[in-house]
Amino acid sequence: MSFNDFTWQIKRPSATPPRGLFSYALRFLACILTMEVMLHYMYVVAIKDAGAWQGNTPAELSMIGLWNLIVVWLKLLIPWRFFRLWALADGIDPPENMVRCMANNYSTLGFWRSWHRSYNLWTVRYIYIPLGGSNNLIVATTLVFTFVALWHDLSFRLLAWGWLISLFILPEIIGRKLLPAAKYGDMSWYRHVCALGAVLNILLMLIANLVGFVDTTKLMLRLTD
């Protein structure tokens, strides 16, 4: 949250209703339980860390990569929700960082608006808009994700992740310009085109995040040759 928002809420605390706070606490506990069940019964993280890939089919390797990404999503979601719950109990209402599950986003742009949302708002406010925003879309997007990659760590793997993300955003932007919903939304075929685009977006986002944060993509490609 911005400093101005924080100081405003310090002076005028927002009282979250007890029922809403209790409901949010239950959702937080459900996230912890989900993580515990996954780590107890699904050994995808251990397989990745130990490099125990021998004998796995390409489909199994793909699922290992996917579930590793879901674990990454959960391990970020849990601490952020804990601190937001603490802030809500203290009268401060910060933005929710992980709005939707990473496997529940059919839009590339929507994916990044829902992942680490407070950081997304910061990069939009201080980097994307000063660089020209939608009027300078390709350059602004590439520089934003280059900055985000370097913010995570100084490594070529993360730079490749940032550049892949910038590249994979383009199909959705081009599709929206060629087939705007305002013009073709009532056509019977439009929903099927959107469904195909959604599948492409999800696959592209999975590939980029596997390259950046799971590092199993090279092995998968080698085993599927």
- What are the catalytic residues? 152
To 5 degrees, how large is the angle CA 161–CA 164–CA 169? 125
Which candidate, 83, 87, 61, 89, places its Cα nearest to that of 214? 61
pTM of the prediction? 0.75
pLDDT at 223: 47
> How do residues 155-200 score in pLDDT, each as one tens digit?
788 888 888 888 888 888 888 888 888 888 888 898 899 889 888 8
DSSP code string of 152-200 = H-S-HHHHHHHHHHHHHHHHHHHHHHHS-HHHHTTSTTHHHHHHHHHHH
State the Cα–Cα distance between residues 53 and 122, nearest whole angstrom.
Answer: 39
Query: Helix or strand or coil: residue 144?
Result: helix
